[in-house]
Structure 1
Amino acid sequence: MSLLILVVDDEADVELLFRQHFRRDLKAGCFDIGFALSAAEALQLIEEAQGVTLILILSDINMLGLSGLEMLPRAKAARPDVPVIMITAYGYAETRRKAFESGAEALLTKPLDFAILRGEIESRLGWAA
């Protein structure tokens, strides 16, 4: 059973960025990273996840169509066991409040600090940071 982190962002270049930062983990088979370019695509992937253990969802808040904040309660309803970390370029207090009220475990701001993100991932895998 493989471990999967799902990244949801409507900017396609995010995939390359994540694959570069976690290339050693991916090569070693520690976990895999899946990507969805929309909240709707992410919800479908969450529902259909077979043969993998979904360990974390990382979602941008501001996306075309369904926003990350709109997706969050639906993702939590489908998979209440999976933590969701929201990512935003704008760390407004109201956005933070809405994210946590909807079930987010954390809110990270762009540009992402991948050391902090690595710590979040490691804590969910039970690894020492």
Structure 2
Amino acid sequence: MSVLVLVVDDEPDIEALFRQQFRRDVKAGRFDLEFATSGEQALTIVVEARERDIILLLSDVNMPGMGGFDLLRRVKEQRPDLPVIMITAYADPQTRRRALEQGADDLLPKPVDFASVRAEVDRRLASWTGGKPAP
């Protein structure tokens, strides 16, 4: 079974940024990165990913169509234990409170602090491997 980090954002440059930041990890086989440009696409990936362990879902809050909060609600209905971190350009206290109340594990402001994301991915990998180092 492969380990997956799913990133959901409608901005095209986000994929390139994440691929650049995590290229060594992906190349070493520590985890796979998958990207969705909409909430609908992400939900399909989550539902169909039964053969893969999604260790973390990172989602933008503001997207056309199904927004991040709708995605959060629907993902938690399908996979309540899936860790979700919301990302937003509007990291005000109300948005943070709403995200946490609706089941998000955290809310990160844009621009993305990749050191924080890396620490979270490493923590999730350690939990997934039972504390053994990931490849």
RMSD: 1.2
Deviations 1:50-92 (Å, cap 9, x if unpaired)? 4311111000001111110111011111111210000001111
Say if 2:97 is the partner of 1:70.
no
Q: Which residue of 2 aligns with 1:97?
A: 97
What is the rounded CA distance, in whole Å, between the counterparts of 2:90 and 2:44 in structure 1? 27
TM-score, normalized by length of structure 2?
Answer: 0.91
Q: Which residue of 1 aligns with 2:33?
A: 33
What is the rounded CA distance, in whole Å, between the counterparts of 2:93 and 2:81 in structure 1? 26
Report matched runs for 1:90-129 at 5 Å. Answer: 90-126=90-126
Counterpart residue type for residue 42 of structure 1? A
1:20 Cα offset (Å): 0.2
Runs of 5+ consecutive residues of structure 2 not aligned to the other structure: none
Percentage of pairs with the same residue: 56
SS at match of 2:3: strand
Runs of 5+ consecutive residues of structure 1 not aligned to the other structure: none
What is the rounded CA distance, in whole Å, between the counterparts of 1:46 and 1:88 in structure 2? 21
TM-score, normalized by length of structure 1?
Answer: 0.95
What is the rounded CA distance, in whole Å, between the counterparts of 1:70 and 1:96 in structure 2? 15
Counterpart residue type for residue 48 of structure 1? E
Deviations 1:2-28 (Å, cap 9, x if unpaired)? 100110001122111100000100000
What is the rounded CA distance, in whole Å, between the counterparts of 1:88 and 1:100 in structure 2? 13
